[in-house]
Amino acid sequence: MSPELEVILAAHQTLLRERLHSCLSTLHPLLRADVVFALQQPGKLLYSVEQAQATSSSYPPAGSWALLTFLSALCVQPTLSLEAVSSVAVALECFICALDLLDDVEDEEQTALLQVLGVPRTVNVATVLLACSQQLLLAVEHAGIEPARVLTLQGLFQTALLQATGGQHRDLLAEQRSVTELTLEECIEIATEKAGSLMALACLAGAVLAQADEQSQSLFAELGTLLGIAHQLDNDSHDLYAILQESAMYGPSGILKREGQEGSFAPSGKTDLRRGKKTLPVVLAARELKEPVPALERSALQQGIVATWGISLLYRERAGECLRKIDALHPIPPLLRSLLRLS
Amino acid sequence: MEEQQILDFVRRVSVDESLRREVVETPEHVIAREGFSPRVASVIARLIPHLNVEQPTERAVLTWWT
């Protein structure tokens, strides 16, 4: 990112952080401390402000979800009220942070935050963040946005919530199914619901706030959906790759056993893989073997990883085409282009 | 379906040694011959460096997701 863009990025992040702190200021100090802690986790808007400033070139930047909404809105209507757009952007940040916390609890992740707060406080923080998100959306009306548009925005958030939780539920249920039952199409559907719906919301909320026409709104939603799917598949392939790399460290046969321990075990990789999440690379690997398998060959897994990464690249290609269509209607600001990393 | 084209190509490269060699030596020729759409061709071009990993012989018993 060029130094000029970094300055603009830092200014936007400061504005968004001020809006967030203003919203959180009404919370009891003990509760606020936990909520702030959640929003200080890597990638979130309050992530280590000093460290983020020192390494401003790190990607994605702190608060990238809020920035996506913020920049989408300003792309459509550059003169939009900053009070309104920052409120919607921060509402989105709180909303995503809440869902991330709930996902971590449901997936029994051992994140740094869960280790400090424990499950009950983490769930309560998630509930608070959902309430803050609603409050921030309601506050948009005070910034001169008519009630009908506020209602539309709230509707978008609720729809995305239902889609994302629907996808999460299907994902949880898939843990109990045989890996050979799942198909490419079903994995893509789940990724669309879980991840596509949320990134679509991030892009669409900005466009709706900025009163984009129907065609533009549809393109922003499509852009978010494609990017969300691409991101999910990229994560799935890289998580499995990391586990394979780690497994190679345990004995020449690659069998996942530590010396002195009985039986196979899951390495310290992502918990969702240990739990039996049927991510696309695993499903593709199982399909290659064409029979129910108690164990998957490393070569089939490697093939599944490469194929999944290829499909994630395909979705990024499609997102790039979508972005070019938006660009023809609303010139894409350089910072948004840089955030999306699309040509 | 473009997704299926990518899956099929990755699978063929993994089982066909001559195609694997060809992909290393003349990737542009292979991509042109396969008649991929520009979108899929762009993806395959990025995948090719990752398709040539020597197939390991050992089995990794990764049982926790089955």
Is a pLDDT exceeding 50 seen at residue A263?
Answer: no
Query: Percent of chain A having pLDDT more than 90?
Result: 73
Look at residue A16 in the predicted model and tell me its pLDDT: 97
**CA–CA distance, A232 with A192 (Å, rounded to integer):** 9
pLDDT at A28 > cutoff 60:
yes
A303 in contact with B, Cβ within 8 Å:
yes
Cα A172 to Cα A114, A246, A306, B41, distances in angstroms: 19, 25, 24, 35
Q: What percent of chain A has pLDDT over 70?
A: 86
Architecture of domain A1-147: Orthogonal Bundle (1.10)
| Residues in chain B closer than 8 A to A178 (CB atoms) | 66
Per the CB < 8 A criterion, the answer to whether A38 and A97 are in contact is yes
Q: Is A40 on the interface with B (CB under 8 A)?
A: no
Is any Cβ of chain A less than 8 angstroms from the Cβ of B65?
A: yes
CATH 1.10.600.10 domain residues, chain A: 1-147, 173-333
Give residue A97's pLDDT.
98
Predicted pLDDT of residue A277: 79
The residue-averaged pLDDT of A62-82 equals 96
pLDDT tens, position by position, A157-187: 999 999 999 999 999 999 888 888 899 999 9
Q: A320-341 in b/e burial notation, b at 16+ Cβ within 10 A?
A: bebbeebeeebebbebbbbbbe
Q: Do B7 and A307 touch (CB under 8 A)?
A: yes
pLDDT exceeds cutoff 50 at A256 = no
Interchain CB distance below 8 Å, B60 and A256? yes
* DSSP assignments along A161-227, one per residue: HHHHHHHHHHHHHHTTS-GGG--HHHHHHHHIIIIIHHHHHHHHHHHHHTT--HHHHHHHHHHHHHH
**Per-residue pLDDT band at A31 (split at 50, 70, 90):** very high
Contact status of A256 with chain B (Cβ, < 8 Å): yes
Split at pLDDT 50, 70, 90, the class of A23 is very high
pLDDT at A322 over 90: yes
Contact A256 B46 (CB under 8 A): no
Evaluate if residue A58 carries a pLDDT over 60.
yes
DSSP letters for A219-232: HHHHHHHHHHHHHH
Res A342: pLDDT: 82
What ipTM did this prediction achieve? 0.84
**Position A248 pLDDT exceeds 70:** no
**pLDDT at residue A130 tops 60:** yes
Q: Which of A296, A303, A314 is the closest to B14 by Cβ? A: A303
B residues 29-48 near A, CB within 8 Å? 39-40, 42-44, 46-47
Q: According to the model, what pLDDT value does residue A104 have?
A: 96
Q: A247 or A79, which is more confident?
A: A79
- pLDDT at residue A63, rounded to an integer: 95
Task: Say if CB A313 and CB A302 are below 8 A apart.
Answer: no
- State the pLDDT at residue A17: 97
Nearest Cα of chain A lies from the Cα of B35 at a distance, in angstroms, of: 16
CA closest to A243 among chain B residues: B62
Q: What is the pLDDT of residue A290?
A: 60
Is B11 within 8 Å of A247 when comparing Cβ atoms? no
The predicted-structure confidence for A81-126, as pLDDT tens digits, reads as follows: 999 999 999 999 999 999 999 999 999 999 999 999 999 999 999 9
Q: Is the minimum CB–CB distance between A253 and chain B shorter than 8 Å?
A: yes
Q: Which residues in B lie closer than 8 A to residue A302 (C-beta atoms)?
A: 53, 56
Chain B residue nearest residue A276, CA to CA: B65
The dihedral formed by the CA atoms of A254, A244, B48 and B53, expressed in degrees to the nearest 10: -10
Q: Contacts of residue A322 in chain B, CB cutoff 8 Å?
A: none
- Where residue A339 falls among pLDDT bands split at 50, 70, 90? very high
Give residue A127's pLDDT.
98
The confidence score (pLDDT) of residue A246 equals: 74
- Chain A CB contacts of B61 under 8 Å are 254-256, 264, 295
Phi-psi region of A178 (alpha: psi -120 to 50; beta: other; left: phi over 0): beta
CA distances from A262 to A94, A107, A255, A266 (A): 44, 25, 12, 12
- pLDDT band per the 50, 70, 90 thresholds, residue A341: confident
**Is a pLDDT exceeding 80 seen at residue A12?**
yes
Digit-coded pLDDT (tens) for B4-63? 999 999 999 988 889 989 988 999 999 999 999 999 999 999 998 888 655 443 434 343
Average pLDDT, chain A: 88
Mean pLDDT of A212-229: 98
B62 lies within 8 A of chain A by CB: yes
pLDDT over 80 at A251, yes or no:
no
For position A300, what pLDDT does the model report?
84
pTM across the whole model:
0.88
User: What is the per-residue pLDDT across A142-155, written as a single tens digit (0 to 9) for each?
Assistant: 998 999 999 999 99
pLDDT at A273 over 70: no
Q: Among the CATH numbers 2.170.130.30, 3.30.300.30, 3.10.180.10, 1.10.600.10, which is that of A173-333?
A: 1.10.600.10
